[in-house]
């Protein structure tokens, strides 16, 4: 049975915790700080933020106030779309480190491969950005590098160019939208898989077979969704600033879904994609 302290080994030997605390839409300020402290107190050791979330200061403050050693916390942040390019990515990372009050981050990600501002410059701008990611990695500013929101076409492009291969793919992944082609390719490239929106923003709550499985296992529907991803070796990134939900989302290590129940969720169509199409961003 898994425990919240279980980790996966990235392709460069860095260990990454098997569940993360997401901070999207956690506003910069005391609420975010307290959310980080609550998450860490309840066993989370992986914190996911981004330049775009505008809360890196509070994330860093929450980590500091938690009293946990920096070396025991895995921190992820991301370069935003408007900072794609070599020099701007370097500067963006330095800015994130300053706001987080950290000397390094454990994982640095390209937030979107093909943003609107540089769509006509794809893939050249993506390559420039990745060259900066490699420089940051070699300089020790980041312990691992990866990409978000990539389809198979984007993965093929970056793999043809990269000298240091991406170690992580973070995509929208959940029941009904498992992105099987991209995740299969990423795993073939040796990448770990992370899932944002693992709870589908609650849009599948009350649907079958999810509600029946929750009743059968004596768990919440959110816990069933997270456990499902965990058993597929996918790192879920649930997010909440509410203490009860923060505790609930990590309480998924004392049960295991049977193969037949995993198959039911495999077949569950859900609501499909809820986020943006990476090839047709409006930002």
The crossing angle, in degrees rounded to 10, of helices 124-138 and 152-161 is: 60
Q: How many CB atoms lie within 10 A of CB 279?
A: 13
The reply to whether 53 belongs to the active site is yes
* DSSP letter (8 states) at residue 278: T
Closest CA relative to residue 61, chosen from 29, 27, 105, 89: 29
User: Kindly report the CA angle at 51 between 49 and 57, in degrees rounded to 5?
Assistant: 70
* DSSP letter (8 states) at residue 174: B
Contact of 227 with 256, CB cutoff 8 Å: yes
Distance CA 244, CA 254 (A): 18
Structure tokens at 57: 């200061």
Distance CA 14, CA 11 (A): 7
Residues whose CB is less than 8 angstroms from the CB of residue 8 and which lie 6 or more positions away in sequence, other chains included? 15, 16, 18, 192, 233, 235
Residues 8, 21, 44, 53: which is the catalytic one?
A: 53
User: Kindly report the CA angle at 221 between 225 and 148, in degrees rounded to 5?
Assistant: 30
Question: Where in the sequence numbering do the catalytic residues fall?
Answer: 53
């Amino acid at each position: 049975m898994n425990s919240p302290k279980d980790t996966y080994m990235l392709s460069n030997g860095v260990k990454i915790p098997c569940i993360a605390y997401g901070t999207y839409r956690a506003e910069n300020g005391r609420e975010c700080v307290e959310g980080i402290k609550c998450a860490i107190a309840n066993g989370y050791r992986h914190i996911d933020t981004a330049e775009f979330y505008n809360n890196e200061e509070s994330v860093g403050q929450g980590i500091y106030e938690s009293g946990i050693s920096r070396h025991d916390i895995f921190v992820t942040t991301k370069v935003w779309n408007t900072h794609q390019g070599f020099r701007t990515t370097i500067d963006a990372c330095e800015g994130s480190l300053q706001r987080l009050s950290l000397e390094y981050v454990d994982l640095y990600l390209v937030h979107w491969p093909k943003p609107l501002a540089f769509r006509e410059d794809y893939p050249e701008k993506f390559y420039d950005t990745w060259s900066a990611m490699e420089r940051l990695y070699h300089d020790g500013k980041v312990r691992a590098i990866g990409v978000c929101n990539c389809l198979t076409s984007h993965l093929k492009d970056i793999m043809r160019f990269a000298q240091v291969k991406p170690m992580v793919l973070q995509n929208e992944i959940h029941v009904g939208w498992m992105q099987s082609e991209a995740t299969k390719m990423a795993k073939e490239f040796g990448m770990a898989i992370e899932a944002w929106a693992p709870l589908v923003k609650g849009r599948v709550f009350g649907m079958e077979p999810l509600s029946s499985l929750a009743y059968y296992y004596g768990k919440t529907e959110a816990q069933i969704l997270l456990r499902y991803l965990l058993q597929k070796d996918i790192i879920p990134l649930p997010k909440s600033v509410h203490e009860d939900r923060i505790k609930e989302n990590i309480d998924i290590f004392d049960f295991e879904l049977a193969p037949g129940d995993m198959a039911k969720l495999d077949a569950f169509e859900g609501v499909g994609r809820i986020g943006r199409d990476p090839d047709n961003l409006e930002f």
